[in-house]
Amino acid sequence: MGRRSDRRGMTSWRAAVTTLICLILGGPATAFAGSALPTRSAASVDGVNSATPETAQVTSATSSAIAFIRNSTLWTMSPDGSGAAPLLATVGNNDAAPSYSANGTKIAFETARFSGGAPDIAVVNADGTGLVKVVQNAREPTWSPDGTKIAYVANRDGLIGSIYVANADGTNETRVTNAFPASDDQPAWSPDGTRIAFWTNEGASGLAIGIVNADGTGRSLFDPAGANWRAPAWSPDATKIVAVRSNPIAVDTALFVVNADGTGATRLTDGAFADDHPAWSPDGQRIAFDRNVSGHLQLFVMHVNGTVQTNISSNATSDSAPTWRPASSTAPPPSSRIAFVRTFEIWTMNADGTDATAVVTQPNGDSGPSLSPDGKKIAFTTGPSNIAIVNIDGTGLTTIVLNAKEPTWSPDGTKIAYVALRDGLIRSVYVANADGTNETRLTNAYPYYDDEPAWSPDGTRIAFSTTEGDGRVGVVNADGTGRTMLSPQFVTWRSPAWSPDGTRIAARQHDPNAASELAIFAMNADGTNVTRLTGGSNDDHPSWSPDGLRIAFDRTVSTAQIMVMNADGTGQTNISNSATADSAPSWGIVRVATQATSTTLAASANLAVFGQVVTLAAAVTAASGTPTGSVRFSEGTTTLATVALASGVAMTTLTPSVGTHTFVATYEGITGFAPSAADPLALTINRASTELAVKAAPDPASDGAPVTLRASVSVVDPGAGIPTGSVTFFDGATALGSSVLEARLATIEVVLSTGTHTITAQYAGDRDFEGSTAAAVTLTVQPSAVVVAVTETVAVSDQPAVLPAAVITVSEIVGVSDAVAVLPPAQISIGESVTVTDAAAVLPSVIVSVSETIALSDAPTIGNTSVGSLVHVILHAFNTDSAASLTFSTVTSSGNTTLTASLTGLPAPTGFDPATPLRYFDISTTATYAGPITVCIDVTPLTFVGSPHLFHLENGVWADHTVSFDPLLHEVCAIVSSLSPFLVAYDATPPEARIEFDAETRDLAVFGTDAGSGTSAAPVVPTVGVGPGRERRTYRVLDNAGNTLEIVIGVERDGHEVHATVIALRYNGGESLAPPRSDLAFEWALAADATLRSLEQRIATGVGPDRQEVDARFDARSDTTEIKVKGSAGEHRISRPGLALIRLGTDRGVLIAQVPKLAAATASPQLVE
């Protein structure tokens, strides 16, 4: 397959599109470290990297642009096809395959302007300056998402068509693919920089899509039978790939989109034309491509689902290989804003509902706003029936037309159409200049009235609603001629709105047969193809987005809200979410001057340990206003998180690995605020410290019996994680053995000699955790038989006698009375005439002389619980991993003690949650015991918050008998008098706090209000500055059970004023709660002695009928505080002696204004102290 002049051969499939796709997406790339592929330095090629003297025709960079090839020359234009111009002075140099860098400042492309024959890769600035050759004898360049590298196709070392990667300046060339004799072409980086898609002739049926890791490993093919695939391009979110599929049998070349794993192929174009070189727009909503129209290649743009295919070239020459400029490369494009009515005031907001801002704040029955085409002004109806114009910032309010309403701007912004009653006629459509002069009537259909005019995008026609035909949508020429009815009769149509391309009209329809049903419909501009977009809700006032992809409208259920949906009616979303009534949206473009921003990055700790949660906080500031948008946190080429700004601050948390890390925060920029990046922040993570505890059981132990040694490794705060490795146990300096840690525990069994032993253990540590040594414990091992010297007469009464385990030396007369004696397992010779074996023996009352040593063994024991004092028993529930240990004060009769774990039992006591997984521990024994029992439950397999409690079921009620919790040995212990079910639970009541003014520090203060919370809480580092005098603080309070409450507060200080807003609450590290907006303000004055002369306090919380407002003013001269409380119960005033502080209290995610206790006679809903 050879190269052809129309570039539709193998090289024509090089989509700069594909190269750009990744760059558009702006994802990070993975550096190529340790590649085993052969490399060569591009710097060794003659002529490479040499600047050329060519003078470029500089074209101004726009915020959104498409680079493409026209007649073998590099051109650029706007996405709507306007402003097309050659980027370089000389033309006809076989330019091809343009690709924008990630920041949009440079374009890489293939060209023959250096060699005159074989293609080279060149880079030029986006304004046409700085042309330089970077790689010789190469083609199809595509930038990596981070802009540091370029992938391309070259023939090297006798191979054909392999993918190579080099630095952006052409150095350090590395081959990524080598599938000889197959040929690979048209590389396209994935948005995250980890993979490269390409097409290859390695497919079973011809051409296939290949994907390879950026380091050359993991080559795979997408190769459905019966078709050729080429020109792959990644979607910005990396979930899909758009590519060209050609079917040689059906002569069908079309664009398809497939999932990134090759599944779910979906056709986008019909294949009637030779469509090629697809390229995603930066926002992922559109796809550009070239199409052969009557022998000429033309550039088209379509919606991502294949609809609305628009020719943006309309050029007699050939345009091909489009590539989008990344949206974040320069100042963002003009902002899409929606003007609307809120409680009879004019407001604007972003298209996602954020940044709602009042423009006209004096309610005067305002309605029907209309944004001017340049986004600088809003026309609206004010008062009963006048038309006013106001600047977008709220200034310059002017009434321009009296006794008129429903204004709408002409597309060129020079005229306004509106509705008025003139000359005794009922409502008709009029047109006047934008200043209200030169009024002209357009419609006159008496006795019908016409209203709600809407200009067509080309300004030649005006749609309107009319009572003619039971309520229809009509169209009239801009000069008043050609009145035509569009919509069907017998249903009422109102509120027409043209789509930006002029092909469709959206309107509200009311079916009289369904009295409560108002819905949005769309139709062609000629009235055909009527399509329902919304259901049977009360929907009205549709307004198209500037790009024609979405429609805003208002919907009234209990109150009117602004909704946004896709142009096909899907994805209906409430963007108001307001307790007030929002209606009559007008969607337009607002151009905002871009100002520079500054981004700073701080960390909660610049030196941390493994497992420690580190908070990165980025603050973005500008000379005026508070930037919104998102901040991207990254380390090297890896994006860690992209976080939306809140009050100018974005925060993310992470737990870095051991080592040195360098983080960067990049503000992406939005309309009005330029992108910026923080200086790199270095953070060192050390190994976390550990603590080791060791325990031996039973203690005391018996000679010859096994002893269990158990060691537990805990991570010292603020570290966290699960240590691995092994623990070695020691008796003094003698190693007893080692065990591998499992769930932080290591256990061995040993047999130790009689005597006292000093037991310790050593943890060796691992990659993430330091080693540690346990404090020594003492273990006593008793002999299995004790030598007792008997020198007196021993009398055994008439009762069963349990003889001790002992070797008894009898040197005198032993008297044994008539009794039943239980003798131990032994054969004893008494006076060489009586032999007693293991049996109950009746001994006579005789005097027996024993002249030798008699050995008596331990008395017989039944089960695991023997007779004695401080008897220790270790238990396991073999059906689970549950374990327990018991210490009986006294056991008088041996028996068996058991442990079982079940899932059923009484609910946990009020205020407590059971540890998970839920287990009820049932301990029972057949032994006879007396005195208290110490019960310890192993909580290693359980999950809980803070410190666990051990509850004992007594008379059907859970009783808390907890005496200790050992976090090292993972045991919670209780002392009880009987055995019955036990339950491990934790305090589930989060701590609460209050926020108030601190008269001493004259700053905001947060106090914990639960037991154990302490008297105050310092802000958790970092306290992030977000502008002069402005901070974002995070406070944390604790209770005795270890529960936490974090409060995030935005604070602004200015002289003798403090203003604060509560942003979020977070209990026990869970998801942040976003309570209704709560604001605090404090202003004070000082006397000559620096004491408070006056203090004004204001707190407001909640919205709508639940809103609370409290104002307090302290005056030192009268030494009183006057307090005014306003809420759902009305307004109340109270007076308190001295300085009384009002405060904001938390209650499980709710914020409540709190005031000093009111007089009993005062009926007030306010909480008290």
pLDDT digits (tens, 9 = 90+) for 776-796: 999 888 875 433 333 333 444
Query: Residue 734 burial by CB count (10 A; 0-12/13-18/19+): exposed, middle or buried?
Result: exposed
Are 113 and 156 in a shared domain? Answer: yes
Q: What is the pLDDT of residue 223?
A: 67
Distance separating alpha carbons of residues 743 and 483, to the nearest angstrom: 82
Are 89 and 231 in a shared domain? Answer: yes
Q: Which of 742-756, 798-812, 1088-1102 has the lowest mean pLDDT?
A: 798-812
Q: For the domain that residue 487 is a member of, what is the CATH number?
A: 2.120.10.30
Top pLDDT among 977 and 94 is at 977
Are 575 and 428 in a shared domain? Answer: yes
Say which residues have a Cβ less than 8 Å from residue 223's Cβ, sequence separation at least 6: 203, 204, 205, 208, 209, 229
pLDDT reading at 823 higher than 60: no
Nearest Cα neighbor of 4 from 350, 297, 265, 368 is 297
Are 1002 and 1129 in a shared domain? Answer: yes
Distance separating alpha carbons of residues 694 and 714, to the nearest angstrom: 12
Whether residue 154 lies inside any domain: the answer is yes
Backbone angles phi, psi at 1104, to 5 degrees: 60, -140
Boundary of a domain, candidates 954, 987, 1020: 987
Are 895 and 983 in a shared domain? Answer: yes
Host domain of residue 624: 597-686
User: Which 8-state DSSP code applies to residue 45?
Assistant: S
Are 27 and 149 in a shared domain? Answer: yes
Are 818 and 772 in a shared domain? Answer: no
What are the distances in angstroms from CA 844 to CA 403, 832, 835, 841? 132, 15, 13, 10
Task: Based on DSSP, count helices (H) and strands (E) in the chain, helices before strands.
Answer: 1, 102
Boundary of a domain, candidates 941, 967, 987: 987
Distance separating alpha carbons of residues 767 and 724, to the nearest angstrom: 9
Give rounded-to-5 percent helix, strand, coil for the chain.
Answer: 0, 50, 45
| Mean pLDDT of the 464-488 span | 82
Whether residue 861 lies inside any domain: the answer is no
| Mean pLDDT of the 39-58 span | 32
| Omega before residue 698 within 30° of 0, cis | yes
pTM: 0.41
For 838-890, how does the pLDDT look when each residue is reduced to its tens digit (9 = 90+)? 444 444 333 333 333 333 333 344 578 888 888 888 887 756 778 888 999 99
| Mean pLDDT of the 446-450 span | 81
Distance separating alpha carbons of residues 801 and 780, to the nearest angstrom: 28
Are 880 and 1011 in a shared domain? Answer: no
Coil, strand, or helix at residue 23?
A: helix
For 896-926, how does the pLDDT look when each residue is reduced to its tens digit (9 = 90+)? 898 988 888 999 988 788 988 888 999 999 9
| Mean pLDDT of the 634-656 span | 86
Q: For the domain that residue 617 is a member of, what is the CATH number?
A: 2.60.40.10
Q: Which of 152-166, 303-317, 453-467 has the lowest mean pLDDT?
A: 303-317
Whether residue 569 lies inside any domain: the answer is yes
Are 726 and 825 in a shared domain? Answer: no
Whether residue 575 lies inside any domain: the answer is yes
For 257-290, how does the pLDDT look when each residue is reduced to its tens digit (9 = 90+)? 888 777 878 888 887 777 888 888 877 778 888 8
Nearest Cα neighbor of 141 from 189, 108, 101, 185 is 108
pLDDT reading at 356 higher than 90: no
Boundary of a domain, candidates 284, 305, 324: 324
Distance separating alpha carbons of residues 572 and 787, to the nearest angstrom: 91
Top pLDDT among 274 and 45 is at 274
Q: What is the pLDDT of residue 1021?
A: 44
- Residue 844 tokens read as 């006579």
Whether residue 232 lies inside any domain: the answer is yes
pLDDT reading at 659 higher than 50: yes
Whether residue 815 lies inside any domain: the answer is yes
For 294-345, how does the pLDDT look when each residue is reduced to its tens digit (9 = 90+)? 777 888 888 777 777 788 877 666 777 777 777 543 333 456 678 877 777 8
User: Within 13 Å, how many C-alpha atoms sit on residue 330's CB side?
Assistant: 16
**Model confidence band, residue 38 (pLDDT cutoffs 50, 70, 90):** very low
Backbone angles phi, psi at 864, to 5 degrees: -95, 5
Are 603 and 675 in a shared domain? Answer: yes
Are 550 and 608 in a shared domain? Answer: no
- Beta-strand relationship, 531-532 and 538-544: unpaired
| Mean pLDDT of the 736-751 span | 90
What are the distances in angstroms from CA 546 to CA 10, 153, 374, 394, 502? 38, 39, 12, 22, 12
* CB 601 within 8 Å of CB 635: no
Total count of domains within the chain: 7
Q: Which residues are paired to 550 by β-bridges?
A: 566
DSSP codes of every residue in 545-601: -TTSSEEEEEEESSSEEEEEEETTS-S-EES---SS-EEEEEEEEE----B-EEEEE
**Model confidence band, residue 369 (pLDDT cutoffs 50, 70, 90):** confident
For 103-143, how does the pLDDT look when each residue is reduced to its tens digit (9 = 90+)? 778 888 888 888 777 788 888 888 888 888 888 888 888 88
Annotate 472-527 with three-state secondary structure: EEEEEECCCCCCEECCCCCCEEEEEEECCCCCEEEEEEECCCCCCCEEEEEEECCC
Whether residue 670 lies inside any domain: the answer is yes
pLDDT reading at 623 higher than 60: yes
Looking up tokens 């497939």, which residue turns up? 258
Q: What is the pLDDT of residue 1073?
A: 61
Whether residue 391 lies inside any domain: the answer is yes
Are 388 and 410 in a shared domain? Answer: yes
When the pLDDT of each residue in the chain is averaged and rounded to a whole number, the result is 76
For 958-992, how does the pLDDT look when each residue is reduced to its tens digit (9 = 90+)? 999 998 887 767 789 999 999 979 999 987 777 78
DSSP codes of every residue in 720-766: -S---SEEEEEETTEEEEEEE-BTTEEEEEEE--SEEEEEEEEE---
For 1086-1123, how does the pLDDT look when each residue is reduced to its tens digit (9 = 90+)? 888 888 889 999 998 876 667 788 999 999 889 999 99
pLDDT reading at 831 higher than 60: no
Sheet (strand 801-802) strand order: 801-802, 819-822, 840-843
pLDDT reading at 517 higher than 70: no
Q: What is the pLDDT of residue 952?
A: 94
Q: Which of 48-62, 399-413, 760-774 has the lowest mean pLDDT?
A: 48-62
Q: What is the pLDDT of residue 1160?
A: 36
For 534-576, how does the pLDDT look when each residue is reduced to its tens digit (9 = 90+)? 876 788 888 888 888 889 888 887 788 888 999 888 888 888 8
Coil, strand, or helix at residue 16?
A: helix
What are the distances in angstroms from CA 56 to CA 53, 69, 90, 91, 1076? 9, 16, 8, 11, 57
CA angle at residue 603 from 600 to 609, to 5 degrees?
155
What are the distances in angstroms from CA 334 to CA 356, 546, 672, 730, 955? 17, 11, 8, 73, 73
